[in-house]
Amino acid sequence: MTKRKAAGTKSTSRATRPVKPSGPSPVAGPDAARAAPERKALWSGRFADGPCESLKAIGDSLRFDRRLVFEDILASQAHARMLGVQGILGKKDAKSILVGLQSIADDLEAGKLRVEGADEDVHSWIERTLTERIGEAGKRVHTARSRNDQVATAFRLWIANRLFALAMEDLRGLQAALVDRAHEVLGVIVPAYTHMQRGQPALLSHQILAYVEMLARDGTRLGAAVDAAMEQCPLGSGAATGVPYPVARESVADDLGFDGPSRNSMDSVSDRDFAVEALAALALLQVHLSRLADDVCLWSSSEWRLLELGDEVSTGSSIMPQKRNPDGAELTRGKTGRVIGHLTGLLTTLKGLPMTYNRDLQEDKEAVFDAFDTVQTCVHVMTDTIARSRFRTEAAAALLHRGHLLATELADFLVGKGVAFREAHEIVGKIVRTCDEREIDLSDLTEADLAGFDRRFEDCATALDFQSAVDRRDHVGGTAGKRVKAAIKAWRARLDATS
């Protein structure tokens, strides 16, 4: 998982940058915002009348892009600092802008101010609020930038902040819960399934740790998405072609924690690859959560009886008093299509856009915001489900004596006697067929029974033992007890080191 430094501080090493968390919800706290004037006060020069209601309905984005308020303030502060240093703005105006922006951020964090009103978007809201607070200087904050490069910068910062926190905090919480359960059931043997059929015996801990590995890859992908978002800073690209001012783009990029300024202004304002990469990482994480949720549903079913859901993470039925339903897991599984849909939707939006910026790109934010909220909620739900439920180790043994789990062990036993594996496979297959006809499991047979099929099965006791079958997988990545115990220890150390 990536580590980045705080946005708004000078860059050090790309590998060691924690990202500054976003502030609290910009809509929290008491309603202290004044009613906004007609927004043509900001953009009225070209038009005699404001937009009609239908255009406002489809175009206004304040209701969702207000989530960018802290990132936009941060970027505006970096921009204003640069304008003052470069002499594009007078130092007095630049200082006034910085103080005014900070006062807005402080009031939002304290719950004294809410982002609401008739403004078109959060960027207009900030500029209007700033102008109301500091006067004419507030109108100069937009010098040498466009909303095109402004929103692209704020959106990149938001994605970097949120995905970093998801990778470094939420995912690790779920991994820790899984590792704790794996430790608790170490030594418990269950069937390993392929094609949803019982296949071979394995440690339950080994299966649980498989999800820890999946989540580790998800963390890496989220980190890569953070890196992609923070690679190039759009500020200074203007609407499409750059700006006619002596801007210091490198200093702004460094101030905000980017690797550097974007290399092509036209690409910069129309690029949403970083949003697609964020959605792709979120979608695959949600797929993995769905797989875990599906196992929870199976484990907790009356057929498996392997997992007893805690009262806090299960629900009852409106008509059947005995029910204990895994609603959190089911909803996690169900919401996967929603997240995948956001990825598909954004790709479809982007596929036919001409150069450079087009308003279609406004469709990027709701997709990313909702995908992030959905995934984060599902991570929390699955963390609670794993942490607040217990595995019924007494039920595990009952699962072993169906499905002929020792068939491969018997075939491998014959291989050890010099029999070619294909011949051994055929011999054991005939024995399994006989067991099915007798309605017994392979594990019910004795050495003498097996020797009746083939005399080479003499002294095959170890091949009829579930524990021996598990312990023979004694290699890196195998299900042998000492390997799984070592994996649990290694994961605990890894999680502790990065907590």
- pLDDT tens track for 110-120: 999 999 999 99
Q: What torsion do the CA atoms of 277, 282, 284, 288 make, to the nearest 10 degrees?
A: 160
Q: At what angle do helices 204-229 and 481-497 cross, to 10 degrees?
A: 30
Query: Do 426 and 369 share a domain, yes or no?
Result: no
- Which distant-in-sequence residues (6+ apart) come within 8 Å of 285 by Cβ? 171, 215, 218, 221, 222, 375, 379
Please report, rounded to a whole number, the percentage of residues in the chain having pLDDT higher than 90: 87
Question: Which CATH number characterizes residue 167's domain?
Answer: 1.20.200.10
Query: Do 314 and 282 share a domain, yes or no?
Result: yes
> Which of 313, 281, 287 minimizes the C-alpha distance to 300?
313
Query: Do 346 and 405 share a domain, yes or no?
Result: no
Query: Do 193 and 52 share a domain, yes or no?
Result: no
Cβ(384)–Cβ(313) below 8 Å: yes
Cβ(310)–Cβ(319) below 8 Å: no
- Tens-digit pLDDT profile for residues 375-420: 999 999 999 999 999 999 999 999 999 999 999 999 999 999 999 9
User: Does residue 275 fall inside a structural domain?
Assistant: yes
Query: Structurally, how many domains does the chain consist of?
Result: 3
User: Does residue 470 fall inside a structural domain?
Assistant: no
Query: Do 362 and 306 share a domain, yes or no?
Result: yes
Please state, as a whole number, how many other Cβ atoms lie within 10 Å of the Cβ of residue 432. 15
Q: What's the pLDDT score for residue 36?
A: 44
Residue 35 has pLDDT above 90, yes or no: no
Catalytic residues: 195, 317
Query: Do 78 and 124 share a domain, yes or no?
Result: yes
User: Cα–Cα distance between 131 and 119 in angstroms, integer?
Assistant: 14
- Tens-digit pLDDT profile for residues 241-293: 999 999 999 999 999 999 999 999 999 999 999 999 999 999 999 999 999 99
Q: What's the pLDDT score for residue 13?
A: 34
Q: Of 143, 177, 212, which residue is a domain's last?
A: 143
Confidence of residue 125 (pLDDT cuts 50, 70, 90): very high
Chain centre distance of CA 153? 21
Query: Do 436 and 383 share a domain, yes or no?
Result: no
Averaged pLDDT of the chain: 92
Query: Do 345 and 455 share a domain, yes or no?
Result: no
What is the DSSP secondary structure assignment for residue 463, as one 8-state letter?
Answer: G
Q: For the whole model, what pTM was predicted?
A: 0.92
Host domain of residue 418: 401-464
- Hey, what amino acid is at 283? A
Question: Which CATH number characterizes residue 105's domain?
Answer: 1.10.275.10
CA–CA distances in Å: residue 288 to residues 299, 313, 336, 379, 390: 17, 19, 9, 10, 21
